[in-house]
């Protein structure tokens, strides 16, 4: 009989998580490695078995040497990496994202609120939900009508100005057409220079053309 095959040993990667040295499997994400070592990171769009896209940005962590925060669900652990998942900067960004995304969540009919399923957000994420709801349910701030700390120095449109008469830019109305539908054009009287001169052939033809019968 053939002996059972032993599963291949996975290579481990040493890195630093919140100031303590830990190990992760080769190719493992920061989120899964932190979860195995007891560090809770909130997440919303990540689900086991599906591709991690990092859309919600609720699982961002701080990596030493990088300017921006990195999503831990789709970032693989590298040797010697120093990750801060619970630092003040990381927690502030995590709570802010969760507040914005979950402030409009309904109070009832949601499985996380009704305790029908464990919340993937963790304690920090659920606390941020209540904070975000409190801010969303509070009174809407209104601007002071006058005498505020930053009054508007510019006058409003039309303030302190006298109303001006509106002038029409339309052209003068033409006289209505006669019932026939065609306007009659009055013939200009002949001048002294053209009265005694003999009409030309074009003027002669135009003068007697209407009288000719076909």
Domain 12-137: give its CATH code: 3.10.20.740
End-to-end CA distance of the chain: 123
Cα 54 from Cα 75, distance rounded (Å) = 9
Summarised one tens digit per residue, pLDDT across range 42-55 is 888 888 888 888 88
Would you place residue 87 in the very low, low, confident or very high pLDDT band (cuts 50, 70, 90)?
very high
Tell me the per-residue pLDDT of 56-84, one tens digit each, with 9 for 90 and over.
889 999 999 999 999 999 999 999 999 99
Return d(Cα 204, Cα 207) in angstroms, integer.
5
pLDDT at residue 176 above 80? no
Q: How far apart are CA 122 and CA 112, in angstroms?
A: 11
What is the mean pLDDT of the segment spanning 91-103? 86
Residue in this structure with the two tokens 């008469």, named with its chain if needed = 165
Residue 65: alpha-carbon gap to chain centroid: 31
The whole-chain average pLDDT of the chain stands at 72
Handedness of CA 83, 88, 93, 94 (dihedral sign): positive
pLDDT tens digit sequence for 181-213: 565 556 666 665 555 555 555 555 555 555 545
> Is-contact 60 42, C-beta < 8 A?
no
Confidence of residue 132 (pLDDT cuts 50, 70, 90): very low
Which residue did the predictor score with more confidence, 187 or 142?
A: 187
């Amino acid at each position: 009989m053939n002996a059972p095959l032993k599963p291949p040993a996975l290579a481990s990667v040493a890195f630093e998580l919140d100031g303590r040295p830990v190990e992760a499997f080769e190719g493992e994400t920061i989120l899964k490695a932190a979860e195995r070592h007891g560090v809770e990171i909130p997440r919303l769009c990540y689900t086991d078995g599906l591709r991690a896209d990092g859309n919600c940005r609720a699982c961002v962590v701080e990596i030493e040497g990088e300017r921006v925060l990195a999503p831990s669900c789709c970032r693989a652990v590298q040797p010697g990496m120093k990750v801060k998942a619970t630092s003040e900067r990381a927690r502030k960004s995590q709570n802010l994202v969760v507040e914005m995304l979950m402030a409009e969540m309904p109070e009832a009919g949601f499985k996380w609120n009704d305790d029908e399923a464990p919340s993937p957000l963790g304690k920090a994420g659920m606390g941020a939900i209540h904070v975000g709801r409190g801010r969303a349910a509070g009174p809407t701030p209104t601007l002071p009508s006058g005498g505020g700390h930053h009054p508007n120095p510019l006058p409003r449109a039309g303030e302190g100005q006298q109303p001006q008469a509106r002038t029409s830019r339309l052209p003068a109305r033409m006289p209505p057409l006669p019932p026939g539908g065609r306007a009659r054009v009055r013939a200009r009287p002949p001048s002294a220079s053209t009265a005694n001169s003999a009409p030309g052939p074009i003027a002669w033809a135009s003068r007697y053309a209407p009288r000719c019968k076909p």
